[in-house]
Amino acid sequence: MRYLLVLTLILLLLAGCATGPRYETTGVATDLVPSEVSASTQDYQGSQVIWGGMIVATRNLADYTELEVLAYPLENNQRPAASRTPQGRFLVRAPGYLEEVSYAPGRRVTVTGTLGEKVQGQVGEAPYTYPLVHARDTHLWPLESRSTDSGSNTRFSIGVGVIFR
């Protein structure tokens, strides 16, 4: 019985360390970036991608939700690294309805899907060619807590006892 309790606690601890999805990259064009696809005359339709970034806009339409995303390189856990140089913009079409309050500008998202046709649009007053991803899966990353302590976003603590401040 005690062994089962310890094993359960270890599994719960490990599950708490999970940080997000880990999409399979077999058959995925991991070297493609949105700015390259946007500027290229080559046809990338049908390519499988895993892209991520910061949501710029969300539009709910009749049959799908469209996200405009400012792309960033992905970290090892496939979270967009917003501290790095942006890689262009792309559009995501996710079937059904995604809540605009949840998928709000500034939120990070990672998307897997198939590249479709390019879509002509604008960024401000400038014309822009967006690569379009027909989403198979989207992962909305949790909001980051704004910590003023040592500048690190990671805080980890295990202990038993009482702390007086």
Taking only the tens place, the pLDDT of each residue in 110-140 is: 999 999 999 999 999 999 999 999 999 999 9
| Domain membership flag for residue 116 | yes
B/e letters for 13-42, b = 16+ CB within 10 Å, e = fewer, are eeeeeeeebebeeeeeeeebbbeebbeeee
Cβ neighbourhood burial of 128 (10 Å; 0-12, 13-18, 19+): middle
The enclosing domain of 96 has a CATH number of: 2.40.50.140
Query: What's the rounded Cα separation, in Å, for the pair 15 and 38?
Result: 38
Strand-pair category, 126-140 with 89-95: parallel
Distance, in Å, from the CA atom of 14 to the CA atom of 12, rounded to the nearest integer, reads 5
Q: Is residue 55 part of a domain?
A: yes
Residue with tokens 């709000």: 104
Q: Which domain holds residue 55?
A: 42-140
Q: Is residue 104 part of a domain?
A: yes
- Residue 29 domain-assigned (yes or no): no
Q: Judge whether 165 lies within some domain.
A: no
Q: What is the pLDDT of residue 24?
A: 82
Report residue 10's pLDDT band, with 50, 70 and 90 as the boundaries: very low
49 within some domain: yes
**pLDDT tens string 16-67:** 444 556 788 888 888 899 999 999 989 999 999 999 999 999 999 999 999 9
- Residue 154 lies inside a defined structural domain of this protein: no
Instruction: Provide the number of structural domains found in the chain.
Output: 1
Question: Residue 114: inside a domain, yes or no?
Answer: yes
